[in-house]
Structure 1
Amino acid sequence: MKVAVIGCGSMGNVHVSAFHRMPDVELTAVCDIVKERAWFAAKRTEAKAFTSFEDMLEQAEFDVISIVVPSYLHKEFAVKAARAGKHVISEKPASLTIADTKDMIAACEENQVRFFVGHVVRFFPDYTQLKQVVEQGKLGPLGVIHAKRGGSHPGGASNWFSDPEKSGGIIFDLMIHDIDYLRWTVGEVESVYAMQYVTEELETAFVTLEFQNGAVASLEGIWGYPGAFHTEIELAGSKGVARNRSKDTSSLSVVQAAKPGSNRPVVEIPESPGLHSPYDLELAHFISCIRTGQQAIVTGEDALAAITIASCAVQSAKSGKVVKLADAGKGA
Structure 2
Amino acid sequence: MKVAVLSFAHVHSATYIELLRDRSDVDLITTDPDAPPGDPMRGKALADELGVTYRASYEEVLAERPRAVIVTSENTRHRQLVEQAAAAGAHVLCEKPIATTEDDAHAMIDACEQAGVSLMTAYPVRFHPAFTALRHTLAGGSLGSLLSVHGVNNSSAPGLDRPWFADPALAGGGAIMDHTVHIADLLDVLLDGEQPAQVYAVANTLLTRGGADQQEVESAGLLTLTYARGLVATIDCSWSHPPSHPTWGGLTLTCIGDRALIEFDAFPPLLDGYDAAQAGPRWEHATIDLDAAMLDSFLAAARTGRRAHPDGETGTRTLQTVLAAYESLRTRQPVVTGTTAWPLPHFEQGPAGPLFQRGDPPG
| TM-score category, normalised to shorter length | 0.7 to 0.9
**Which residue matches 2:361?**
none
CA deviations on 1:72-122 (whole Å, 9 max, x unpaired) are 111111111112222211111111011100000001111112111101121
1:179 to 2:191 alignment: no
Partner of 1:198: 205
**TM-score normalised according to structure 2 size:** 0.78
Structure 2 residue runs of 5 or longer lacking an equivalent are 210-218, 272-284, 345-363
The alignment yields a C-alpha RMSD, in angstroms, of 2.5
* Residue pairs, 1:48-87, within 5 angstroms: 48-58=53-63, 60-87=64-91
Structure 1 contact 31–56 (Cα < 8 Å) conserved: no
- Residue identity in the other structure for 1:244: F
Name the counterpart of 1:25: 26
C-alpha distance in 2 between matches for 1:83 and 1:8:
21
What secondary structure does 1:327 align onto? coil
Report the equivalent of 1:2.
2
How many angstroms does 1:124 deviate by? Answer: 2.5
Contact in 2 for aligned 1:30/1:41 (Cα 8 Å): no
Shift of residue 128, structure 1, vs aligned partner: 2.7
The answer for the alignment partner of 1:233 in structure 2 is: 253
The answer to whether 1:291 aligns with 2:303 is yes
1:279 aligns with 2:301: no
1:203-218 alignment runs, 5 A limit: 203-218=219-234
Counterpart secondary structure, 2:208 = coil
How many equivalent residue pairs?
310
Preserved contact between residue 207 and residue 239 of structure 2 (Cα < 8 Å):
no
TM-superposed CA distance for 1:200, in Å, is 7.0
Query: Could you say which residue in structure 1 is the equivalent of 2:12?
Result: 11
Asked if structure 1 preserves the Cα contact closer than 8 Å seen for 2:222 and 2:238, the reply is no
TM-score if structure 1 supplies the norm length?
0.85
SS at match of 1:313: helix
Change in Cα spacing, 1:327 to 1:176, as seen in structure 2 (3 Å) is same
2:260 and 2:270 mapped to 1: Cα distance? 18
Tell me, yes or no, if the aligned pair for 1:148 and 1:220 is still in contact at 8 Å.
yes
Residue 158 of structure 1 is aligned with which of 150, 162, 184? 162
Report the equivalent of 1:267.
none
Flag structure 1 segments of 5+ consecutive residues without an equivalent. Answer: 252-272
Consecutive aligned runs of 4 or more in structure 1 exceeding 6 Å deviation:
none
CA separation of 1:116/1:195 partners in 2, compared to 1, >3 Å: closer, same or farther? same
**Map of 1:263 onto structure 2:** none
1:323: how far off?
1.0
- Of residues 95-104 and 285-294 in structure 1, the stretch that sits farther from structure 2 once superposed is 285-294
Q: In 2, are the aligned partners of 1:190 and 1:210 still within 8 Å (CA)?
A: yes
**Hey, which of these two has a bigger chunk of helix by percent?**
1
**Offset, 1:145:** 1.0
| Alignment partners' CA distance in 2, 1:312 and 1:274 | 35
Q: Which of 309, 314, 317 is the equivalent residue of 2:329? A: 317
Q: Is contact 1:28–1:61 with CA below 8 Å preserved after alignment?
A: no
Q: Secondary structure at the match of 1:135?
A: helix
Cα 1:204–1:29 shift into 2, 3 Å: closer
Following superposition, the deviation at residue 195 of structure 1 comes to: 0.9
Q: Distance in 1 between matches of 2:26 and 2:287?
A: 21
CA distance in 2, matches of 1:52, 1:69: 13
Residue 249 (structure 1) shift: 5.1
Q: Deviations over 1:241-274 (max 9, x none)?
A: 00134686589xxxxxxxxxxxxxxxxxxxxx97
User: CA 1:330–1:169 in structure 2 vs 1: closer, same or farther (change >3 Å)?
Assistant: closer
Q: Which amino acid aligns with 2:329?
A: A
Identity of aligned residues (%): 25
